[in-house]
Structure 1
């Protein structure tokens, strides 16, 4: 929100007060409390009739410093609050020398010189990261008399800002106005389903604003050299998170707010759905599943979208008997074919459903101040909202869902959760404004915890649309309602990369687009992109997404890239384990992987899939693609063609290839079995070696198919024209040097060391 009118003036009706200096200090071993008047105090009279801000500074973890500014401390704190599972008390260390106070948290230091005008300075490694200067700490009132706390942190020359959730606007946030406010706005506007009050910059730090309600950002927009964030409240709390690398920033941020659970490996395969408003019944489902089988396209998950339930009655968890007369038998028959089952739900109860009256009588539905149930006719006629702040309501809702799981459903698409009203009263007394964004967290957590209870640790899996900070703990998330053209495909990728820079490890999207019907060209290119994402789902709105609807070549492309993803499963599972343990996403913006390469700073049409594979989706009808190649010799995994960077490349690809480049000195493990995502990955694994320089060495693990840990480890070292491989694997294994047609060397099980020729 903007309060100023240019640099000199305030907007009509707005006033602002900023911390001017430090009047008093309370320094403890691990905490500093500053008392800051909003004007310079020259005498006793200046202490009267003027605000005094309280600014508390502490460290919840190494490399993280928190700042909380309070104007009036007597306001009622009704919650909700973000949980910070990684916070540890008494982490920082306070030092004082004369007028200078320092709070150290690892390499990160907050420095305050109490003899100067107000200035909070965050440093690391002898370098200033950012600072809060003369307008950096304060409050403002607007023309309606509303009270806002605000913070401003300085941007350096050339400093770029990323993150703030899954945003579809330009990838670099500089110059943008961003409101952290959940909205069902599709993928082509400034609104977002997943709003995260966390940003990071290319100068070695990130900032998390610890406020679950609306946070208004001016990212170099109100003041071009500042990131301003404001909340309508009497208190503002934020955390500066040091890197210095973007990966280290994400590690520390996700350690503080929670790391993602590890999804089951079977979810890596291809998902197919009924689509949304299309006609379908068991015969349709069988036709789709059988059609994939007949065309040699392995399918891992089948998803039943909304109309598995009766119209006007969502969400009551009762099957539409007219369409699915034997749901338990149908699911059993599908599962006999090796499929997992996903089903759509939302947190709303339509008035026509018997659950509406049941929930109304029991007090399980969100109410207005007069005691009436909050309702409207958008989405479902007369729909109400389950009050997840009421433990009994949560148990009632998940109890109904438990019955669905008993039918054979394995995972759940938790749709919606964004359009949450603010003119309501919550069971636990939560502040409606703060609950608007936070509701999705309660919804997804309730469903995820039920799945973990019912299916076991490591088997719980959502396909969620909305999220807030901490929501990364409940994967997977998908990009919402996009159109079916190349622009929508590109904006979806932008959103996913932005979400990855906001602490989310796993992300998917509707292959082919949701609204409308893609052209065969768009469908085939989206299939390539979708099957080189962390999770892959074919889904549409008014039209099906079965490949044969888009031509014979679409079938071929879908089959080829599904088989490729299965071969990549051990590589992708390793990346998934890494996301689970470190918070580093599977799909990575180039700036995350190459922070010291200026050319990578703004790239949003390509990404790293795991550590070693660069993917540049094709967004053109004629197959032309322009992409950036970082330093070194990169090898196309599909063609074997090598590209030497740093440079821009321009290529034209048919529908069976795209730029999928293996990093220099990389070793990519490929499963022997391409018919399914989960197999004995270590048995017959092929180690694809790419552009190994003389003296290079690399340790590669083939992960277990469940949980953490390794099924096999391989250490490769090149010396001149010899490649030495040592391993603990008892299974046969293969090494291929170069692309798909490179020299193949096979070794039987039990071979612990091999010396192989390496072409010079």
Structure 2
């Protein structure tokens, strides 16, 4: 037995126990590890990946010899007692974490399967941002950053059309933000220290099988008595998000395009109608181009004075009026731009195997991939952010993409793109973070990202849920953003939001006023409130075209600002402790068995329960309340724990607060106003 900082590591009954949790076990006389070789076939089309694997060998390591040292247990695993093929060293680090270090006897082995003991009743959460499932038990999850795809459900017509016409249909597991980290209801986390392609399989009642296309350096475990303490420990390991600027509490970040005059006129119209606006998000500030998908930005990261005349001075005038300007950038450059030529002349792009610049098709236009493994290229792009965005006056931006690194590129440092692919979003986040930090603007500037992975936590102040369809679908509409926030929150990323109204309009999906208003209601109870015109603005509803929707948005933004003191406290809890802002019910109500399977409600901080209306034409909504004393935010009526059907007219989503909250006076003020 070994102990460190109150943590224990024991091997008995053919089983390795860490703080009384079974981690590795031969007790059933079956192998818990398999090693082998595989040959993958991966094809990318516009950020969507077709991934196949031919397994050449899968060798069960059914024999082990164990050696105990003063500070470790060493497993030498073999097949039928022959020479050792895999060594696992189990030890406790200085924090008391369990570290499983893995080494293989031959470099030719590039496949590994590990089985962790499980109970049938265990529930599993995390694996990055998962948009279809929150409790991951019963499914397997390939972990590979990509476009989430359109529809994300192979049984829907939207996904069928996206697959057959665009090669762009998603599936239940496709995500911008995969991470090889999960939390079990046995109250431990498991994190894999590697960026290799992985597939975590939680379908077996007796074990969780973790598959890796490579040999991870290590697996890391910690336990805790509560989920909050477990998240504190996990974010101690992964890092925590920086805090948000105070100006983001002043209202909506209005997503709008079309130039200086249109932006100002629209802001003026909405503000006169009572909409609280903290800033404008103009993703086309660098110019536009038209494709069959819709209007796209011209990926040359500098101000376009033709589309936004006078912006260089107007940006400061708006700031004096309390309107911040947020722009857009991503780590690619279109091959018809000035900055592309500059980067090409300095050899800042990834190459193909012929030595030419690798061009990626982003949908009817081609781009070079800035090679972040080249320190000169990394610094050049970082300085571009400093000069063209920060010095220009931007107070924030969408730091888009990060998922598109092809696996057949040649990188500057010679590293394997199969491993770099999943790491790329973290390197992109780090580039933005360093630009802001070196400009002494941490806490003043906010950028938001959709792609991420382990390590992104410390570099990404705000996540957004990606490009949802402008509809009511469970897997790719408004509803999908709820398990997305809950799952990524259980992976250490607790500041997240989504495009109000959704983004993707294809194959008959068109945004309606009701969808926009219901989405705005949900994002009112969020750390960050931002809208988007979508990929086809002229075909879809826009809030400034409808007086009823403007009035509704004004109410939402006023509630958002009324909640500032409470929201700031909750955001601070995420920054200091890693407890997510949008959290699952069981985080606060661990004894409530029903809470563990709820994926379409969330707690906004510890005291506010939100059950968003995610279906159209609903006058009432079914809500589950944990055992507590709850006050309905709009009526002031008190409820006990249980199941209820609540009236939910537009403007009054199902929202409750804890009666004994320290912020009850804040919530009562909202009840009195609305």
Query: Normalising to structure 2: TM-score of the pair?
Result: 0.82
Task: State whether residues 24 and 35 of structure 1, in contact with CA within 8 Å, keep that contact through their aligned partners in structure 2.
Answer: yes
How far does residue 66 in structure 1 lie from its aligned partner after superposition? Answer: 1.4
Structure 1 portions without partners, runs of 5+: 1-6, 42-46, 76-144, 670-685, 690-735, 743-760
Separation (CA, whole Å) in 1 of partners of 2:648 and 2:592: 26
How far does residue 357 in structure 1 lie from its aligned partner after superposition? Answer: 2.4
Separation (CA, whole Å) in 1 of partners of 2:520 and 2:576: 29
Equivalent residue runs for 1:637-716 within 5 Å: 637-645=633-641, 647-668=642-663, 686=665
- 1:315 matches 2:289: no
Separation (CA, whole Å) in 2 of partners of 1:599 and 1:310: 49
Q: Which residue of 1 aligns with 2:356?
A: 372
Task: State whether residues 465 and 496 of structure 2, in contact with CA within 8 Å, keep that contact through their aligned partners in structure 1.
Answer: yes
Separation (CA, whole Å) in 2 of partners of 1:594 and 1:668: 19
Q: Which residue of 2 aligns with 1:520?
A: 513
How far does residue 393 in structure 1 lie from its aligned partner after superposition? Answer: 0.7
How far does residue 313 in structure 1 lie from its aligned partner after superposition? Answer: 8.2
Separation (CA, whole Å) in 2 of partners of 1:254 and 1:482: 28
- 1:492 matches 2:481: yes
Q: Which residue of 2 aligns with 1:195?
A: 178
Task: State whether residues 252 and 276 of structure 2, in contact with CA within 8 Å, keep that contact through their aligned partners in structure 1.
Answer: no
- 1:553 matches 2:542: no
Separation (CA, whole Å) in 2 of partners of 1:184 and 1:455: 33
Equivalent residue runs for 1:291-330 within 5 Å: 291-306=269-284, 308-309=286-287, 311=289, 314-330=298-314
Q: Which residue of 2 aligns with 1:630?
A: 626
Task: State whether residues 382 and 432 of structure 2, in contact with CA within 8 Å, keep that contact through their aligned partners in structure 1.
Answer: yes
> Which residue, 247, 263, 287 being the options, matches 1:285?
263
Q: Which residue of 1 aligns with 2:238?
A: 257
How far does residue 622 in structure 1 lie from its aligned partner after superposition? Answer: 2.2
| Distance change in 2, residues 1:519/1:70 (3 Å) | same
Q: How many residues align?
A: 587
Structure 2 portions without partners, runs of 5+: 1-29, 37-52, 153-170, 290-295
Separation (CA, whole Å) in 2 of partners of 1:363 and 1:219: 44
Instruction: Give CA-to-partner distance per residue, 1:629-672, whole Å, 9 cap, x none.
Output: 11122012332111111x11111211121222111421216xxx
Q: Which residue of 2 aligns with 1:31?
A: 72
Equivalent residue runs for 1:356-395 within 5 Å: 356-379=340-363, 381-395=365-379
Cα RMSD (Å) of the superposition? Answer: 2.6
Q: Name the SS of the counterpart of 1:511 in structure 2.
A: coil
Q: Name the SS of the counterpart of 2:142 in structure 1.
A: strand
Q: Which residue of 2 aligns with 1:161?
A: 124
How far does residue 687 in structure 1 lie from its aligned partner after superposition? Answer: 5.3
How far does residue 319 in structure 1 lie from its aligned partner after superposition? Answer: 2.1
> Which residue, 134, 149, 152 being the options, matches 2:112?
149
- 1:418 matches 2:418: no
Equivalent residue runs for 1:540-579 within 5 Å: 540-541=533-534, 542-543=536-537, 546-549=542-545, 551-579=546-574
Q: Name the SS of the counterpart of 1:69 in structure 2.
A: strand
Q: Which residue of 1 aligns with 2:293?
A: none
> Which residue, 454, 459, 479 being the options, matches 2:444?
459
Separation (CA, whole Å) in 2 of partners of 1:26 and 1:579: 40
- 1:211 matches 2:197: no
Rg comparison, structure with higher value: 1
Task: State whether residues 382 and 434 of structure 2, in contact with CA within 8 Å, keep that contact through their aligned partners in structure 1.
Answer: no
- 1:16 matches 2:58: yes
Task: State whether residues 538 and 545 of structure 1, in contact with CA within 8 Å, keep that contact through their aligned partners in structure 2.
Answer: no
Q: 56-65 vs 194-203, which deviates more?
A: 56-65
Q: Name the SS of the counterpart of 2:549 in structure 1.
A: helix
How far does residue 331 in structure 1 lie from its aligned partner after superposition? Answer: 1.1
Q: Which has the higher helix share?
A: 2
Separation (CA, whole Å) in 2 of partners of 1:460 and 1:154: 45
How far does residue 625 in structure 1 lie from its aligned partner after superposition? Answer: 1.1
Separation (CA, whole Å) in 1 of partners of 2:429 and 2:141: 24
Query: Normalising to structure 1: TM-score of the pair?
Result: 0.73
How far does residue 21 in structure 1 lie from its aligned partner after superposition? Answer: 4.4
Q: Which residue of 2 aligns with 1:331?
A: 315
Q: Name the SS of the counterpart of 1:376 in structure 2.
A: strand
Task: State whether residues 485 and 494 of structure 2, in contact with CA within 8 Å, keep that contact through their aligned partners in structure 1.
Answer: no
| Distance change in 2, residues 1:442/1:268 (3 Å) | same
Separation (CA, whole Å) in 1 of partners of 2:667 and 2:338: 58
